[in-house]
Amino acid sequence: MVVDAIFVKLSIILVIALVVSIVVRLLKQPLIIGYILTGIIVSPYFLDIATHVDSIKTFSQMGVAVLLFMVGLNLNPKIIKEMGKVSLVVGVGQIILTFAVGFMISVILGFSYLVSTYTAMALVFSSTIIVMKLLSDKEDTSTLYGKISIGLLIVQDLVVILILMAVSSIENNPDIYSFALQKVLMGIALVGGLFLAGYFVLKPVTKKIAHSRELLLLFSVAWAFALASLFDYFGFSIEIGALLAGITLSVSPYRYEVGARMKPLRDFFLLMFFVLLGSNLEFANMSEFILPIVVFSIFVIVVKPLIVMTLMGLLGYTKRNGFLTGLTVSQISEFSFILIALGIGVGHLEPEIMSMIAIVGLISMAGSSYAIAAGNSIYQRLSPRLGIFEREGSKVDEGRYHKGDDHEILLFGYNRIGYGLEKAFRRINKKFLVIDNNPETILNLARARVECRYGDAGDTELLDDLPMSNVKMIISTIPNLETNLLLIRKIRLLNPKAIIIIVSHQIEESLQLYEEGATYVIMPHFLGGAYTAHMVEKFGFKKKEFEKEGAKNAHDLLRRQKEGHRDVLHERDNA
């Protein structure tokens, strides 16, 4: 009967989580907010369903372990090497400055040095899960600001891991400044040792079992929980063991498949973690925390982005990339909650601090989600006032690789469709300029002596600087309605005679683009079907003709792969 009662309670909690998450998704908010709100709904303050359900606590611990396992899975040394100077400098600088300012604000608000230290650390870090999802939805993971943001988040993850290792090694020690350096050094040594084990032992093992997806998933789960339990047994923590389990598999060529298959497990167990967090929030004395909540929320949403913008400006980047990168840090991390929970567990903090940080998290996550999604629009409004965050003279991210302004064609977006168009322009001997917001694409084009320029079609300042008055044709392969509408209106104002060709994936959007003045709208899916129908009509059942077309297509795909082209679904799956 007890088991039945627990099962019923968990079922009710899951149904409530589903309903709340649907509402949250309709509001275009991250699901983490829905999970925390679910916890509040089932807490003793409302439905009182989560009380005495120990399974939730167990699931929540598993959620943290799986999350850290997947973080470790992505900490491949190659990724760290590719972060670049700007991500490292901005990442470390943002951590130091945000912590220092946050600590001072916390002390001024009357918190002790110990509480202020934890609070400042919680405010420093930003949510990798939320930012990656939002960048992926915008298809901005390959842009310059997207790459810098991802590198910055990796730096944050590395630092928070060391902090979690240090805090979890303390057993009710009231002095946070007596962190056991030996434990940290021992942890670093274990990382090195397990990395070698992963390369020389786990790599061949995973290769042998990788033929079975089910077996690979089972091995990964078993390895994560076995190592987590082993570290817990020897006096470290479950979190450290799970993290190191992921790091040891990060050198495996099958880490992407392991990560993709572990995501559903992570999401389910994290649901329980945030439900437990929400159900344990204390609201009885929250009136005395109203001022700190307001101040810390403003600090996270406004001051953190300003710090990043200042650092990027000092490094010579344009105010636009600084602004968009700054927006990505305008929330706190899921690790912030884990850090505060550890602080409560070792006796450093009272539960009310978790409630305060959770509310700041809800506010900042909600605000940043809208801000990141509407980043380009917000920038256009604020651009005239952001000049103080940009150094005078040439910028390191301007990326001009062309001479003169006598181009006949402007091509916005090179990857995928633009690749074939660029080859066609060469064949018909037309002078063209490629504009793309992927810095690697621009560098590759420049090396190939293709006239190109780094930039975003949604940036009005870039459009003002382009030679649109005299061009004969403008093509946008960017399937973003807002960007394309801006582009069409700008062109029609400056050059009514220009041919405007736009890419779109939605029928309704295509019709709207025609109404705004597009000359022709490309719909890739329909064109693909039309071309296939054309081949069927032309070749009938002649297999050799289809094989010739297939060979040409395969050759073209290989060339694209060598140039670094990636399909949309692959980019989103890895985000």
Strand 432-436's sheet: what is its strand order?
400-401, 452-454, 432-436, 409-412, 473-476, 499-503, 520-522
The secondary structure of residue 436, as a DSSP letter, is E
Task: Determine the CATH number of domain 2-389.
Answer: 1.20.1530.20
Q: Please state the rounded mean pLDDT for residues 268-293.
A: 84
Phi, psi for 521 (deg, rounded to 5): -115, 120
pLDDT exceeds 60 at position 182: no
Residues 79-111: pLDDT tens digits? 555 556 788 899 999 999 999 999 999 999 999
Phi, psi for 283 (deg, rounded to 5): -115, 0
Least confident of 175-179, 271-275, 374-378, 491-495: 175-179
CA dist., res. 316 & res. 327, Å (int): 18
433 or 552, greater pLDDT: 433
Angle, helices 319-327 vs 375-382, to 10°: value is 130
CA dist., res. 311 & res. 96, Å (int): 12
Q: Angle at Cα 390 formed by Cα 387 and Cα 395, nearest 5°?
A: 135
CA dist., res. 312 & res. 112, Å (int): 33
Confidence of residue 119 (pLDDT cuts 50, 70, 90): very high
Contact 166, 183 (CB under 8 A): yes
Using a pLDDT cut of 70, give the percent of the chain over it: 87
* pLDDT (0 to 100) of residue 299: 96
- Report which secondary-structure segment, H or E, holds 503: strand 499-503
Q: Which two tokens stand for residue 120?
A: 């400042």
pLDDT exceeds 50 at position 569: no
* pLDDT (0 to 100) of residue 560: 66
Domain residue spans of the chain:
2-389, 401-522
Q: Which long-range contacts (CB under 8 A, 24 or more apart) does 383-390 make?
A: 383/319, 383/320, 383/460, 383/461, 386/309, 386/319, 386/322, 386/323, 387/319, 388/313, 389/309, 389/310, 389/312, 389/313, 389/319, 389/322, 389/323, 390/313, 390/317, 390/318, 390/319, 390/322
Q: Please state the rounded mean pLDDT for residues 343-357.
A: 89
Confidence of residue 353 (pLDDT cuts 50, 70, 90): very high
* pLDDT (0 to 100) of residue 238: 81
- Report which secondary-structure segment, H or E, holds 511: helix 507-516
Contact 247, 195 (CB under 8 A): yes
Q: Collect all residues with Cβ–Cβ distance below 8 Å to 502 and sequence separation of at least 6.
A: 475, 476, 484, 487, 488, 513, 518, 520, 521, 522
Q: What is the mean pLDDT of the chain?
A: 83
Residues 229-278: pLDDT tens digits? 877 776 667 877 887 888 778 777 777 788 888 888 888 888 888 888 88
Question: What's CA 432's distance to the chain center, in Å?
Answer: 33
Q: Which two tokens stand for residue 199?
A: 């390369």
Confidence of residue 173 (pLDDT cuts 50, 70, 90): very low
Using a pLDDT cut of 90, give the percent of the chain over it: 25
Residues 299-313: pLDDT tens digits? 999 999 999 999 999
Q: What distance, in Å, lies between the first and last C-alpha atoms of the chain?
A: 43
pLDDT exceeds 70 at position 448: yes
* pLDDT (0 to 100) of residue 179: 47
Q: Which CATH architecture has domain 401-522?
A: 3-Layer(aba) Sandwich (3.40)
Q: Please state the rounded mean pLDDT for residues 201-219.
A: 79
- Report which secondary-structure segment, H or E, holds 291: helix 290-298
pLDDT exceeds 60 at position 77: no
Q: Specify the residue for token string 């979690």.
A: 164
Cα Rg, the chain, nearest whole Å: 26
* pLDDT (0 to 100) of residue 340: 92
